[in-house]
Structure 1
Amino acid sequence: MDLQLNGKVALVTGGSKGIGLSIVNGLHEEGARVVVVARGKEALADIEQKLANVETIVADLMDPTEREGVMGHIIERYGKIDILVNNVGGSNGGAIKETSMELFYEGLELNYFSAVHFSKLALPHMKTQQSGAIINISSIFGREAGGKATYNNAKAAMISFTKALADEVMADGIRVNSVAPGSILHPTGNWQKRIEENPEKMKQFVEEEIPGGRFGRPEEVANVVVFLASEKASWVSGATINVDGGQSNSF
């Protein structure tokens, strides 16, 4: 299927590894001109070496000024932005009673406010061209309890934000959607660390919690993101799509 992404300008935040890197690969394969922003210099250099016509930017996306600089660079260099994938994120803290307010603020800044800010930065340009796609990477735990509250709270806010923004901008030709991955296995992720620490426990977790019988793969999330970025998803807006092998308890 030709997704008609050739020549589209896409920004992927936190795209140097895991799900983000798979999204970069997927967009690149469809002919998009991809800009990847992350903190890891070595990982970004490796991407530029392997993928032609992919630009990387080293930036701390906790910093609003650096976020503004990234968007300014893209508009100056390419003159537009067609696709924004807000993927950057991470978890911190532990039990709520033992987690400082500072960690809650940091969790929201990285997982949620960065997505809000980048979306607001992209909107004027997308509105001018009367087209654009924003895809937010949330989590199935944005709709359920479980895991670290700092992360889940931010992902819940992202799901709500996705629907609110989608309704505001659909008339301007801009679609906003979210993808909610379940437990995804990749070499640099937490699930790989847990498997190495306690393989039997993780085997039991998969048997009890994931009807699909295995962990998901990053490319399985990326495939949905790339579809949502395309005009093949022209009537999909405000949705949060689970990509989880049936793991979620919500629907």
Structure 2
Amino acid sequence: MDLQLQSKNVLITGGSKGIGKAIAALFIQEGANVGIAARGEEALQDAQSELENVRTYTADLTNESDRVALIEKFISDFGSIDILINNAGGSNGSTAMETDLSLFKEAMELNYFSAVHLSKLAAAHMTKDAAIVNVTSIFGRESGGKVTYNNAKAALISFTKSFADEMISKGIRVNGVAPGSILHETGNWKKRMDENPEKIKQFVENEIPAGRFGEPEEVANAVVFLASSQASWIVGATLNVDGGQSKMNF
């Protein structure tokens, strides 16, 4: 299938490792022009050496001025933006009662407000046949992750639908992908597996019907498809990519 992504200008946040790097690699494979943004310079340098023809941007996406500067620099470098992938995110805290309110605010800034702000900034430069894809989580739809993370991802899923309905008349499609448990070298599941392999093996057997963790490339496949013109009639959807892990039936 020709995804018609040749020469599209794509910005991916959290693009230096894991799911973000896999998304970047697939867009490059499809002939797109790709920029990746992340906070850690070392990880960005590693990704740049691994990926061909990728531009890197160091930015703290919890910082409003960094977000503005990122979009301005990307537009300056590429001339326009066709696709934005809001992939940056992370979890913090513990139970609600044991988590300071400041951590709730931090989680919202990283997982939600960064995506909302970048979407608004990018959309102002986008023309017809553009796309935004938000990487959320199945735990934005049901309990399972840390409460701060669940809350922020739930808000992002809601924003995805609202912004999609607002922007489709301008030819900008907005969708989301909600991964389940994905295993990669720099992720939390790898750390947990190294610490207690038997416990994690039992988790997989009990919680993931497919019988294994997902891979970053499997999430990337869904993201890149949703960003392509082949997904032209998909608007405001958030697609689970989870091997059946989610308990929801709609």
Match of residue 34 from structure 2: 34
- Cα deviation per residue 1:38-61 (whole Å; 9 max; x = unaligned)? 011112112222323210011111
- Provide the secondary structure at the position in 2 that maps to 1:125: coil
1:67 Cα offset (Å): 0.5
The alignment covers a number of residue pairs equal to: 249
Matched letter for residue 191 of structure 1: W
For structure 2, the 5+ residue unaligned runs are: none
The 5 A counterparts of 1:135-146 are 135-146=133-144
Match of residue 155 from structure 2: 157
**49-58 or 15-24, which moves further after superposition?**
49-58
Q: RMSD across aligned C-alpha pairs, in angstroms?
A: 0.8
Distance 2:37 2:26 in 1: 16
Match of residue 207 from structure 2: 209
For structure 1, the 5+ residue unaligned runs are: none
Output the TM-score relative to the length of structure 1: 0.97
Output the TM-score relative to the length of structure 2: 0.98
Among 228, 232, 247, which residue is 1:234 paired with?
232
Distance 1:199 1:101 in 2: 33
Match of residue 17 from structure 2: 17
- Cα deviation per residue 1:116-170 (whole Å; 9 max; x = unaligned)? 00000011111xx223100000000000012210001000000000000000111
- Provide the secondary structure at the position in 1 that maps to 2:194: helix
| 4+ long deviations beyond 4 Å | none
1:54 counterpart = 2:54: yes
Distance 2:2 2:193 in 1: 38
- Provide the secondary structure at the position in 2 that maps to 1:26: helix
Distance 2:23 2:135 in 1: 11
Distance 1:62 1:223 in 2: 27
Distance 2:80 2:74 in 1: 7
- Provide the secondary structure at the position in 2 that maps to 1:96: coil
- Percent identity of paired positions between Structure 1 and Structure 2: 63
Matched letter for residue 229 of structure 2: E
Matched letter for residue 144 of structure 1: E
